[in-house]
Amino acid sequence: MPSATATQCEVRFFGQFEVRILGSPVERFRTRKAASLFAYLALKPGRWKPREALADLLWPESDDSRHSLSMALTFIRHEVEVRHHLPEGAVLRANRMAVSAADGVVTSDAAGFDDALAAASAASDADATMQRLVEAVGLYRGEMLPGFYDEWAIEEQHRHRERFLDALERLVVMASRCGRPEFALEHALRLVAEDPFREAPYRHAASLHLAMGRHDRAARLCAEMERRISGELGVPLSEDARHLQAISRAAPQGGRVTAHGARKSPKPRAADPLGSPEPPRGAVPLASRYYVVRPADQIFHDAIERGDSIVLLRGARQVGKTSLLARGLQGARDRGTGVASAQLQMLDRSILQSSNDLFLALARELHEQLELPDAPDDVWDARRGASPNLRRYFRRTVLPSAGNHLVWGLDEVDRLFGAPCADDLFSLLRSWNDERALDPAGQWAALTVVIAYSTEAHMLITDLNQSPFNVGTQVALRDFTQAEVDDLNVRHGSPLRTAEDRKRFATLLGGHPFLVRQGLYQLTVHGSSLDALEREALLEHGPYGDHLRRIGSLLARDGSLLACVQRIAEGATATDRDSFYRLRSAGIVTGESATSVSLRCGLYAGYIAQLGG
C-alpha cells in the first residue's frame, strides 16, 4: 500500500475539473457538492477551513448543513483515499473543528498558474518575466471549473480569467517592446479569441500586423472588431480604433515613395498595446504593471505570513510604504487571514487630542471593516479608561471574530508625532507584544500589527521601554536601485533608449520612486523628450511643480530646517541629528547618519539652490 508521504493528488481546474491520485483518475464524486467541496479545499491546500464556514459556504440555506458537510467529506474520503488504498488523512485532513487538503500532497494547475504569475512579478528582467508569463498562460486551458455554479467557484472563475487576460496583455506589450513582433502577435491573436467583445485585443493585434506591413490582415481584424463591438454590442469604436481602421483600409500604394521607387506603407501612430500607464498618484494600484518589487517586499511578506507580533514598515515619504502595505494585506486576505487597516492620516486632528477619542475611532473602524457583532459604543465603559477599553474590545470581540489570525495595518503613523495620545497607543501595542511573549499560545498570538511610518522612532516616543519600535520586525523600504529604474523604463516602453539617457535621468531623479514614475509617465504619455524634462523640471508649472511646492512649504515653516538643507546643498557633509532625521523622514535628504548626508536627487539640489537665490 502506498504511504501517505508518497501520495500525489493532481487536480486540474482549467478547461475541466479532473482529479488524479497517483496518476489514476477519480472517476466521479458521488454528489456535485462533494466535488465542489474538494475543489474548494484543493485550491489552497494546507489552509484549514472551519467546518462551520464550509457548511455555510456550500449549504447556506440548509437546516442541517453540518450533516451535509459530514456526508460530503465521507464521499470524498471514499473516492480519493479508500478507492486508491490510501490511509485516512493521506489527502483529506480533518478534525472536529476544521478541514484541509493535505499540503505538499495536493497540487494543481491553478497553483502553478498563481506561482508563475508571482514569479513574473518578481523577475528582475524582461526575458525572465516573459518566460514566467508564458508558463502561466500555457496552464490556462479554458475556463476554471466549468459547470460549477457555487458562488465561490464563480468568483474564482472571474478572478482567474481576469488574471489570465492580464498576463496575455503583458506578454503582448513586453514582446512588442523587446523586438519580438511575431511572438507578440501570437499572443495578441489568442487574446482576441479569448476576449472577442473588447476593443483593446483587436487593436493590439491590428497594430502588430500593420507594423509588419500586413494591411490586409489588419483590415480583416478591424472589420471583425467593428462587427463585434459596434454591430453586436452597439458600442461606438474609440478614436484609436477608427485611426487603425483608416490605416488598415489604405492600400499600400498610398504610402510615400522611397528613393528606389518602392512605396512604403504609412507608419501607424505609435500605440501602447496595454494603453497608457496610470498616472503616479499615491499608492500604486494592486493590479498595476508598474509596481516594482524590491528586497524589502519579501521580508515584509514573510513577516506577515509568519504572523509576527509587530511589523515595522519604515521609509521616507513617497518611497512606497502604502503600496507595499496594501500588497501585504492583500496577501494575507488571499491566505484566508482576517485583515483590517486604519489610515491615521484621515483622522480629524481633534480626535488625536484624546486617547479615548482615538481608541474609540479605531475600534469603530474595526467594527465596520470586520462586521463585528458588538459595536464599540455599546460596550465602551468610560470609567475603565481608553487603553483597558480597547484591550477588552480586542479580547472579547475583535480577535474571537477574526478567525485564526488578524493582521491590523496602521498607516501614516507619523500623524501621531507630537499628539497627546501617541504614548498611550504605543504603550498598549507594546504591552500586547509582551503578553504574547509571555504566553505564546495565548490570544495575542492571533494578532499581527503592522506600523507604517516615516518619522524616526525616537521622535515618536518618550519611553523606549514602552515602545513597539524596538521590538518589532524591521522592514526598511529604500529608493529604487539603477537596475529597478531600468526595469521600470522597459515597462514604460523604454523611453530612455541609451545608457547616456538613463544616466542623465538618474542624475536628475535618483531612485526616488514617485519622481521616477512621474518622469517616465511624462516621457511615455505626454511624449516629452529627456531634454524637455530636464529643462522644465524646476518650472513652477512643470511636471514636478506641485511636488516641489510642498517641499518649499515644509521648509518655509522652519527657518532652521531650511538653513540646514541649504548648507547640505552647498556641500556640507554633516548636520545636527534632529534636523537630519526630520529631513530624511520628509524624503528630502538621504544617508545613514547625520555625518554622511546628501540631497536625495539632483532635482532637489536645483530646487534648494533656487530657494537660496
- pLDDT bucket at 4, cuts 50 / 70 / 90: very low
| DSSP label of 144 | B
- pLDDT bucket at 604, cuts 50 / 70 / 90: very high
Name the helix (H) or strand (E) containing 351: none
Position 265 pLDDT exceeds 60:
no
Position 270 pLDDT exceeds 90:
no
Separation CA 346–CA 414 (nearest Å): 12
Domain containing residue 242: CATH number:
1.25.40.10
Tell me whether residue 394 is in a domain. yes
Who has greater pLDDT, 90 or 287? 90
3 state DSSP class of 250: coil
Give this prediction's pTM. 0.57
Q: Is there a single domain that holds both residue 437 and residue 498?
A: no
37 close to 49: Cβ distance less than 8 angstroms: no
Separation CA 519–CA 531 (nearest Å): 12
Q: What are 379-403's pLDDT values in tens digits?
A: 999 888 999 999 999 999 999 988 8
Average pLDDT over residues 22-38: 91
pLDDT of residue 7: 54
Tell me whether residue 73 is in a domain. yes
Q: Is there a single domain that holds both residue 172 and residue 72?
A: no
Q: Is there a single domain that holds both residue 214 and residue 239?
A: yes
Separation CA 122–CA 287 (nearest Å): 14
**Pseudo-torsion of CA 569, 574, 576, 580, nearest 10°?**
60
Residue ranges making up the domain that contains 586 = 482-612
Tell me whether residue 419 is in a domain. yes
**Which residues does 359 contact at the CB level (< 8 Å), separation at least 6?**
386, 387, 389, 390, 421, 424, 425
Average pLDDT over residues 406-431: 90
Q: Is there a single domain that holds both residue 322 and residue 465?
A: yes
Q: Is there a single domain that holds both residue 554 and residue 537?
A: yes
Average pLDDT over residues 362-387: 91
Separation CA 310–CA 428 (nearest Å): 12
The two beta strands, 473-476 and 589-590, are unpaired
Q: Is there a single domain that holds both residue 82 and residue 129?
A: no
Domain containing residue 31: CATH number:
1.10.10.10
Position 353 pLDDT exceeds 70:
yes
Position 163 pLDDT exceeds 70:
yes
| DSSP label of 444 | G
Position 491 pLDDT exceeds 50:
yes
pLDDT of residue 551: 87
Radius of gyration of the chain (CA): 29
Tell me whether residue 283 is in a domain. no
Give the three cell numbers for residue 558.
522652519
Tell me whether residue 24 is in a domain. yes
H runs (alpha helix) in 142-249: 151-177, 181-194, 199-211, 215-225, 239-249
Q: Is there a single domain that holds both residue 338 and residue 357?
A: yes
pLDDT of residue 116: 93
Q: Is there a single domain that holds both residue 75 and residue 170?
A: no
423 close to 466: Cβ distance less than 8 angstroms: yes
Who has greater pLDDT, 239 or 103? 103
247 close to 210: Cβ distance less than 8 angstroms: yes
Average pLDDT over residues 35-47: 94
* Domain total of the chain: 4
3 state DSSP class of 83: coil
Give the three cell numbers for residue 2.
502506498
Q: Tabulate helix, strand, coil % of the chain (nearest 5).
A: 55, 10, 35
